[in-house]
Amino acid sequence: MTTEPDAPVPDASRADAPLADHGVGEAHEPPVGYLELFYDLVFVAATMVISNRFSSDLSWRSAATCASAFGLLWVFWFHTTLLMNVERRDDLGHRALVLLQMFGITLTVLAFADKGNSNNDLLGIAFGLVTLVLVVMYQRAGRSDPDLRAWAVQRRNLLLVAALLVTLTTWVPSGIDDLVFLLAMALLLVPSRGVFRAKLPPPPVDVPHLTERAALLTLIMMGEAFVKVALVVSAGAIGRDDVAAMVVEFVAVFALWLVYYDDIPKAGVRRGRTRAELWTLAHLPLQLGIVSIAVGISKFLQVDDHGVHDEVVLILGFGFVAVYGSLAVIGVLSDRHPIRPLTTARLVMVGAALVLCALTWWFAWFSPFTLLVALAACELAHAYVADHLRRRTFVGPRPATA
C-alpha cells in the first residue's frame, strides 16, 4: 500500500492530534469557526494603515517603527489563536471579548498612525486595553477547564506584565517607549516552554486548526498586496509601466501562493507544542515580507523625476528574503519528510534575491524594473522546482527502520 505524497499518516497517539472532545456529530465542522474568520477582518484595515504609514515615510526609523507596530498587532492574533486552538468557546461572553479586542486593535492602529501628528499618545493605553482583554480570555479558559488552568495562568501572567509595560509608555520619554514596546513584544513571543513550569503537561495542539488559521491570515496578507498596488495605480492614469508592474506583482503573488498552499497547510506540524508555536511564530516574518513586497512594488509605481528610490530595492530585498527564509524555517518545523531538498531550494531563493538586489544597488545597467522581472522569474522557477521536490516527499511520522 502506498501513501499519497501529501496525505498525512493518521496516528491517534500523537500529542498534537486534534482535541478528543470533538464528537462524532462535529466531524464535518470546519476547523476554523466563523467567529475567528470575523476576527481576522480587523487585520485587513490594520495592515493597510501601517503599510500606508510606511509608504509615506521611507526611512530606517519608519521601517523599524512600522515593522514593530505590525509585530505588536500580530501578537494579538498569535495569542488569540493559541487560546482558540485549545478551547473552542463560542458563548456570548467570549464573543463580546473578541469584539472588544477587535475594537481595541482598531484603536491601537489608529493611535499608532496619529502618533507624531498630535500631542495625544494613546498607543500604550490602546495596546494595554487589548492585552487586558486577552488576560480576561485566558483567565476564563483556566477557570472553565482544570486541564488548561496551569498553562492558561502562565500565559495570563505574561500578558499582565506586558500590559503593565506598554501602559507605562504613555508617561515615559519618546525613544524609551519604543524599547519598552519591543520588550513587551519579546515577552509575548516566548513559546510556552519558556514560561511553563507546571507539573502537568501543556495542552495538546489541534494541528488542522492551527495550520488553517495561519493559512487564512497569510491569504489576507496576499490580498492586501493586490489592494495596495491597485490603489496606487487607480490614483492616476494607467500607463505601460503600471501594467507591466501589475503583471509582475500578480506573477509574484501567484508563485508565492503556489509554494505555500501546495505545501505548508498539507504538511502539518511536527509533534510537540513548542514546535507548533515556533511554526506559528515563523509566519510573522513571512507575512511581514508579503506586505513589504507590496509596499516595494507600489513605491516602484510612484516614481518621480529622480526615478525609483534606492530604498525600494532594500524593501523588495527584505520582503523576498523574509518570505523565503520564513518558508525554510516553517518547512523544517513541518511534518514533511525529507525536508532538506525543499529547504535548500528556499535558501537558494534567498540567496538569489540578495544577489539581484546587490546588482541593482551597485550597477546602473541593472534597473529596478529589471530587478522586478528577475525576481518574478526566480519565483516561477522556484515554484516549479519546489513542486517537483515536494512530489518526492511524504507527510507523517517517519517509518520505523529495521
Q: In this predicted model, what pLDDT tens digit does every residue of 18-54 receive, in sequence order?
A: 433 433 344 445 677 888 999 999 998 888 888 888 8
- Sign of the C-alpha dihedral, residues 376, 378, 381, 385? negative
Q: Average pLDDT of the chain? A: 81
Question: Residue 302 and residue 272: Cα distance in Å, rounded?
Answer: 46
Task: Go through 96-115 and write b for each residue having 16 or more CB atoms within 10 A of its CB, e for each that does not.
Answer: ebbebbbebbbbbbbbbbeb
Among the listed residues 353, 393, 377, the one whose alpha carbon sits nearest the alpha carbon of residue 263? 393
- In tens, the pLDDT along 293-308 reads 888 887 776 654 444 5
pLDDT: which is higher, 268 or 245: 268
Give me the pLDDT at residue 22, please. 38
Give CA torsion, residues 228, 231, 232, 235, to 10 deg. -170
Asked if the model's pLDDT at residue 2 lies above 60, the reply is: no
Among the listed residues 138, 190, 129, the one whose alpha carbon sits nearest the alpha carbon of residue 164? 129
Place of cell 470546519: 30
The C-alpha cell that represents 49 in the structure block? 494603515
> Residue ranges of the alpha helices (H) in 240-399?
240-261, 264-267, 273-281, 283-301, 310-332, 340-362, 368-390
Asked if the model's pLDDT at residue 59 lies above 80, the reply is: no
DSSP character at residue 272:
S
Specify burial of residue 240 (Cβ count, 10 A radius: 0-12, 13-18, 19+).
exposed
Give me the pLDDT at residue 240, please. 66
DSSP character at residue 337:
E
- In tens, the pLDDT along 112-148 reads 877 655 545 677 888 889 999 999 999 998 888 888 8
Asked if the model's pLDDT at residue 10 lies above 70, the reply is: no
